[in-house]
């Protein structure tokens, strides 16, 4: 099980420093979100500074970009990192796609399926396996003159992952993706009873099994030897769980565990602008399902106990924040990373 850190908006210099630190501490890789900045330049800076790490996007927003553009970026990063790059794609939500990017959003699951297949067609063409020809419901690609073909390299097996939550997208992931970015708000009940069976159903469509698809799992990991040390990150986890849980599409995450009416209550608090009230709705009992709380010397074993049977990579969601606030935690997280990676 690989051990990554989630990061996002930073300067190139900041990305370089963080990558060097993680490499020195024994982390496996870095997962870059796409919010206020595109991830590509930060990944480039980090990869030059720490060439042993694996880099991934978790996620890059798909629909505003042509599949050809995404494929070209992924191809170049895969070559320059000697195969240590994974392209994670996601649909985002309609408001952002339509109003922020001025792009199409209709039928997001079918569109993302076609998008992934189009990217993979581009990769095969770059790799010299076949001429470019993709004819889909949303994307059609058929022109790739020699002078416009990316430079060839030997790392052509570029992994394409997608983020998914609900049954339709989970099945798409199983059918066409190399990996699945699990939503940070998840329980093992969700992974075992919903996600994995739906991935397997999709995998069967393309003659695969769920074992062929990597699970990349962000974790609200809260480490500390005392309640006082853990308190600020426990609050952050509750706040983030509350934010995600206020979305009606995630109501089932609570309901499957027997927590009725939580999403409605969170939505009411959000409308009032009561962020603290939202966090207060998330009980310690809920946290046990959606986060992992442990002492420093117990965290690695706790991660392995929960995730080693299902996850290819675990991604620390809150750890960068803790490292910035408490530099002494850097070496502690390094010890967790090294131990978690040992089988």
**Domains of the chain and any CATH numbers:** 2-221+294-341 (3.20.20.30), 226-293 (no CATH)
Peptide bond into 133 cis (omega under 30): no
pLDDT in tens, 305-343: 999 999 999 999 999 999 999 999 999 999 999 999 986
- CB neighbours (10 Å) of residue 127? 17
Per-residue pLDDT band at 295 (split at 50, 70, 90): very high
Confidence (pLDDT) at 342: 85
Q: Distances from the Cα of 250 to the Cαs of 184, 215, 221, 243, 256, in angstroms?
A: 11, 19, 20, 10, 10
Residue 315 near residue 216 (C-beta atoms within 8 A):
yes
- Give the phi and the psi of residue 101 in degrees, each rounded to 5: -105, -10
Q: What is the mean pLDDT of residues 265-294?
A: 97
Termini Cα distance of the chain: 8
């Amino acid at each position: 099980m690989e051990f990554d850190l989630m990061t996002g908006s930073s300067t190139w210099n900041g990305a370089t420093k963080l990558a060097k630190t993680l490499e020195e501490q024994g982390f496996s890789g870095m997962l870059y979100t796409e919010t206020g900045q595109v991830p590509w330049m930060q990944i480039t800076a980090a990869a030059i500074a720490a060439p042993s790490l694996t880099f991934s996007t978790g996620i890059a927003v798909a629909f505003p970009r042509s599949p050809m553009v995404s494929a070209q970026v992924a191809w170049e990063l895969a070559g320059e990192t000697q195969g240590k790059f994974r392209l994670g794609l996601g649909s985002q939500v309609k408001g952002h796609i339509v109003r922020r990017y001025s792009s199409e959003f209709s039928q997001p699951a079918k569109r993302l399926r076609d998008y992934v297949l189009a990217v993979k067609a581009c990769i095969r063409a770059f790799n010299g396996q076949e001429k470019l020809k993709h004819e889909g419901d949303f994307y059609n690609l058929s022109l790739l003159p020699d002078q416009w073909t990316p430079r060839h390299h030997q790392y052509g097996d570029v992994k394409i992952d997608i983020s998914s939550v609900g049954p339709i997208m989970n099945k798409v992931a199983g059918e066409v993706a190399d990996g699945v970015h699990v939503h940070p708000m998840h329980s093992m009940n969700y992974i075992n009873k919903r996600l994995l069976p739906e991935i397997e159903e999709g995998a069967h469509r393309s003659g695969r099994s769920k074992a062929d698809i990597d699970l990349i799992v962000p974790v609200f990991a809260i480490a500390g030897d005392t309640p006082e040390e853990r308190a600020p990150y426990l609050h952050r986890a509750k706040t983030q769980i509350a934010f995600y849980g206020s979305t009606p599409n995630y109501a089932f995450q609570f309901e499957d565990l027997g927590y009725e009416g939580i999403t409605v209550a969170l939505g009411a608090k959000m409308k009032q602008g009561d962020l603290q009230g939202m966090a207060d709705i998330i009980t310690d009992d809920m946290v046990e399902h959606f986060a992992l709380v442990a002492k420093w010397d117990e965290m690695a074993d706790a991660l392995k106990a929960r995730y080693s049977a299902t996850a290819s990579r675990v991604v620390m969601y809150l750890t960068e924040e803790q490292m910035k606030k408490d530099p002494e935690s850097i070496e502690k997280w390094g010890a967790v990373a090294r131990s978690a990676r040992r089988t």
